[in-house]
Amino acid sequence: MSAAAHGLAAPPGGERTASKSQLAYEWLHEQIVAGALEPGARLVLSQVADKLDVSVVPVREAVRRLEAEGLVTFERNIGATVAGIDPTEYLYTMQTLSLVEGAATALSAPSITAEDIAAAREVNERMRVFLEPDPLHFDPVEFTALNREFHSVLFERCPNPHILDLVHRGWNRLKALRGSTFSYVPERATESIAEHEALLALIESGAPTAEIELAARRHRSATLDAYLAHTGENPGFPTL
Amino acid sequence: MSAAAHGLAAPPGGERTASKSQLAYEWLHEQIVAGALEPGARLVLSQVADKLDVSVVPVREAVRRLEAEGLVTFERNIGATVAGIDPTEYLYTMQTLSLVEGAATALSAPSITAEDIAAAREVNERMRVFLEPDPLHFDPVEFTALNREFHSVLFERCPNPHILDLVHRGWNRLKALRGSTFSYVPERATESIAEHEALLALIESGAPTAEIELAARRHRSATLDAYLAHTGENPGFPTL
DNA sequence: TATACGATGATCGTATACGATCCAGCCCGG
DNA sequence: CCGGGCTGGATCGTATACGATCATCGTATA
């Protein structure tokens, strides 16, 4: 899993000798997105600095960058905490991702090659395997990873770097939040794989951009709806 | 022009005594968005620090935050420069804004009151005045400010804070870029005011969310299209 | 004259030190 | 027994100092 391919902000001017602030940023980012740092966990600057064997200044800078991405909150004289305690954050993040990912997929569509389609289809088949035996062997983490890999093929060619960046941030945020609020709905997995196939067919057929955007958006919205129905909370969440 | 109302990130825990990093951030933000600092202008940390009578550390932090918002670029051992030299940045920013603003407007619609509509309509009438005398008296800056005020009414009630934040960032970025690449098309102004009225009517009528989103998006896309037609550049820019 | 190379200054990157602020627990009075 | 004020520790915020890196310009040489 290459960092750049998943939206980890790299220092623009190459990486001669990674600056310590960049090191701290990447380490914290990894810890948070991988779930090693639970949502709500306290981040003490001096402790992080000691652990990475750097001073607090670069750590402070890294935390600020993570704050801008919504992965941590940072308050004056209070400190930094890993974001994501509030369950509605999950809803907002999903909704935002549904918006930007739909657009990114639509904008990518004209550039998607037959090889891309084949690769995506192969990933989708690997996801299907997870459904076979019985629900107990279902691995949400692995399944989600494959899901991201599938969708990456569909949106990675988005020509608008801003939109693409928003998609990456959304996925990362989602991974960070998952630890606390994620509640996977197994029934949804089956539907999801079928929708993936439909999405591929739609792109192959050269459907209009607007249609692809809507399909991709709905695909994610449906997951959100399933989550809402499953938990039974936030019944009045406004839909897009 | 209140800062908070236009998406200036405020320190979450109130503002007892604004931290110096916050001071530097707000000052630079103001300078860039107001156009006092031209796109491409060099920002030397020590000079900014001297000007604001603070040390370089808070300035450095402020610059990093601005970088995360896309208002400046910051390269190792090179320094910070105000973003916006590349003309395609304008296109990307407009496209992204069209996406998120459309969604924000649609999500706001159910919460928009009759008073909101009236206020927006009043602003739109003030914009109309600019068209009256003759094109030479047209003031793009003032017109744009009113335009933002109008749209603020329509998207400010968006319940999703992430999407709302993206809208604010988009507008700020647009203001920052305007200095270098903005080319206002007077004919478009007349159309724009008419579309504003149509948007208000649509919202008043309680139209479906999807319809409002599309109308709001198209409204901005049309401005982008007019710009592209006017300049004659980037003919193959992918549309959303 | 053009090019390669080295010295120099400017600027960024980080470490360290110290002051400012907040939270928690204790003490004391009611 | 309970509540308010105070003190101590922890943590953040900023200033200053110094090392690292890069762009620039002058000079020597082919």
DSSP notation for B165-224? HHHHHHHHHHHHHHHHH----HHHHHHHHHHHHHHHHHHHTT--HHHHHHHHHHHHHHHH
Nearest-CA residue to the C1' of D16?
Answer: B55
- A160 CB and strand D closer than 7 A: no
CB-CB contact of B58 with B24 (8 Å): yes
- Compute CA distances A65 → A4, A160, B66, whole Å: 16, 22, 10
Q: What count of residues does chain B have? A: 240
Q: Which residues contact A100 (CB under 8 A, 6 or more apart)?
A: A163, A166, A167, A170, B99, B100
Mean pLDDT of the region B205-232: 92
Distance between CA atoms of residues B26 and B1, nearest Å:
14
The nucleotide minimizing the C1' distance to residue B43's CA is C11
Mean pLDDT of the region A209-222: 96
- A85 CB and strand D closer than 7 A: no
A87-231 under CATH 1.20.120.530, yes or no: yes
Its ipTM equals 0.89
Answer yes or no: do B96 and A68 touch at CB < 8 A: no
Of the candidates B183, B177, B158, the one whose C-alpha atom is nearest the C-alpha of residue B7 is B158
A18-82 under CATH 3.20.20.70, yes or no: no
- B20 CB and strand D closer than 7 A: yes
Q: What count of residues does chain A have? A: 240
Does B167 contact A at CB distance below 8 Å?
no
Which helix or strand (DSSP H or E) is residue A93 part of?
helix A87-108
Distance between CA atoms of residues B93 and B89, nearest Å:
6
Q: Which residues contact B232 (CB under 8 A, 6 or more apart)?
A: none
Please, which pLDDT band fits residue A10 given cuts at 50, 70 and 90? low
Of A158-162, A182-186, B65-69, B106-110, the poorest mean pLDDT is in A182-186
Please, which pLDDT band fits residue B14 given cuts at 50, 70 and 90? very low
pLDDT digits (tens, 9 = 90+) for B34-74: 888 888 899 999 999 999 999 999 999 999 999 988 899 99
- A12 CB and strand D closer than 7 A: no
Q: Which of residues 92-111 of A touch B (CB under 8 A)?
A: 92-93, 95-96, 99-100, 103, 106-107, 110
Distance between CA atoms of residues A40 and A179, nearest Å:
10
Domain residue extents for chain A: 18-82, 87-231
Which helix or strand (DSSP H or E) is residue A80 part of?
strand A79-82
Mean pLDDT of the region B87-100: 93
Nucleotides of chain D touched by protein CB (<7 A): 10-17, 20-23
Identify the residues numbered 27 to 66 in chain B whose C-beta atom is closer than 7 Å to any atom of strand C.
43-46, 56-57, 60
Q: What's the Å distance between residue B15 CA and nucleotide D5 C1'? A: 25
Q: Do domains A18-82 and A87-231 have the same CATH topology?
A: no
Q: What's the Å distance between residue A63 CA and nucleotide C2 C1'? A: 50
Nearest-CA residue to the C1' of D20?
Answer: B77
Q: What is the pLDDT of residue A139?
A: 78
Does A160 contact B at CB distance below 8 Å?
yes
* CATH code that applies to domain B17-82: 1.10.10.10
Of the candidates A122, A240, A141, the one whose C-alpha atom is nearest the C-alpha of residue A189 is A141
- A81 CB and strand C closer than 7 A: no
